[in-house]
């Protein structure tokens, strides 16, 4: 067990340090893989550039994602180690709100980790978790990482898949299987962000509660209204707006120096 940090309440970066501690604890409990800690650091850097807040383009993508999940005939929520450590309760709430099953899907898959991720979701209230052990018996074609292992009742059969903090290869493989892919990724330039149908460029910590709220708000809407929301969304244009936001913010900060 590593040295644990006691975070002073008035520390300027207390919230960010608390999130890091959650991931470190997750790593000690096998939920998070070591590479997950590195991935978080990359995410933090982009969050700095964005301004550590949810900007309108991210909210726009969140609403489109909620509409896509509600319109789907078989939506599935893919859960990796970082997501299970950071937002287990919100994952369960989203799964109930849509409704859509939760499926464990790991890049660094081991028996211990799949059980640890499942247990984190169950501790947060999940009643059913797909993709654990022999249940992950189907394969995503042309994919060679452990992420190819999927549940025939879950991701394999899904029409819409939410894959937060995803790797580029699997997003492309899911697209080749004609799945509609929604991702949450702080890096608007990652292959996943660029390949997905809807990219929410926001911290998963902020994005998941927003997504649950959007699903709750839109659930009572007619399908035609949901279709309109989805059709008015253009991922390329939205990613471009994210980059323009970062560019303008950096210009402003540079001028203030
Ligand atoms: O739990 P496993 O075994 O499935 O492994 C999970 C990781 C995250 C290690 C694996 O999927 C991986 O290697 O992912 P990548 O390729 O590093 O991509 C992760 C993406 O998520 C990067 O583009 C990061 O910028 C982004 N990211 C990191 N933390 C956050 C984030 N996006 C949103 N919110 C975050 N908190």
CATH of the domain at 239: 3.40.50.12640
Q: Specify if 90 maps to a domain.
A: yes
Q: Specify if 112 maps to a domain.
A: yes
**Structural domain harbouring 228:** 56-245
pTM of the model: 0.95
Residues 174, 163 contacting (CB under 8 angstroms): yes
Q: Specify if 5 maps to a domain.
A: no
Q: pLDDT for 196-219, tens place per residue? A: 999 999 999 999 999 999 999 999
Q: How many residues does the chain have?
A: 257
Q: Specify if 24 maps to a domain.
A: no
Q: What is the pLDDT of residue 163?
A: 97
CA of residue 222 to ligand 1 center, whole Å: 35
Q: Specify if 43 maps to a domain.
A: no
- Which pairing describes strands 129-130 and 138-139: parallel, antiparallel, or unpaired? unpaired
For all residues of the chain together, what is the average pLDDT? 94
**Ligand 1 pocket, mutate which of 18, 147, 165 (most atoms under 8 A from CB):** 165
**Ligand 1 pocket, mutate which of 23, 26, 39 (most atoms under 8 A from CB):** 39
Q: Specify if 164 maps to a domain.
A: yes
CA of residue 84 to ligand 1 center, whole Å: 12
Q: Specify if 19 maps to a domain.
A: no
Report the pocket of ligand 1 as residue ranges, CB < 6 Å: 33, 35-36, 39-40, 42-43, 46, 80-82, 106-108, 165, 167, 184-187, 190, 203-204
Residues 143, 169 contacting (CB under 8 angstroms): yes
For the chain, the domain total comes to 1
CA of residue 133 to ligand 1 center, whole Å: 23
Q: Specify if 148 maps to a domain.
A: yes
Residue having the nearest C-alpha atom to atom 17 of ligand 1 = 39
Q: pLDDT for 39-65, tens place per residue? A: 999 999 999 999 999 999 999 999 999
């Amino acid at each position: 067990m590593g040295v644990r940090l006691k975070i002073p309440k008035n520390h300027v970066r207390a919230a960010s340090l608390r999130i890091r501690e959650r991931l470190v604890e997750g790593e000690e409990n096998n939920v998070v893989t070591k590479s997950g800690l590195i991935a978080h650091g990359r995410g933090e850097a982009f969050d700095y550039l964005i301004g550590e807040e949810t900007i309108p383009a991210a909210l726009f993508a969140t609403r489109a994602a909620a509409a896509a999940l509600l319109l789907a005939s078989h939506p599935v929520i893919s859960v990796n180690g970082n997501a299970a450590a950071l937002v287990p309760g919100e994952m369960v709430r989203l799964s109930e709100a849509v409704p859509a099953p939760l499926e464990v899907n790991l890049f660094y898959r081991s028996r211990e980790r799949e059980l640890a991720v499942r247990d984190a979701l169950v501790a947060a209230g999940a009643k059913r978790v797909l993709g654990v052990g022999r249940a992950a018996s189907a394969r995503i074609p042309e994919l060679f990482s452990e992420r190819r292992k999927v549940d025939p009742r879950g991701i394999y059969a899904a029409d819409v898949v939410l894959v937060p903090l995803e790797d580029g290869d699997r997003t492309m493989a899911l697209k080749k299987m004609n799945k509609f892919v929604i991702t949450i990724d702080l890096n608007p330039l990652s292959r996943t962000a660029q390949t997905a149908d809807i990219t929410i460029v926001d911290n998963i910590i902020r994005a998941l509660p927003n997504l649950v709220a959007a699903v709750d708000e839109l659930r009572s809407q007619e399908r035609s209204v949901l279709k309109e929301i989805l059709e008015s969304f253009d991922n390329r244009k939205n990613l471009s707006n994210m980059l323009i936001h970062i560019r303008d913010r950096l210009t402003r900060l540079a001028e203030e120096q």
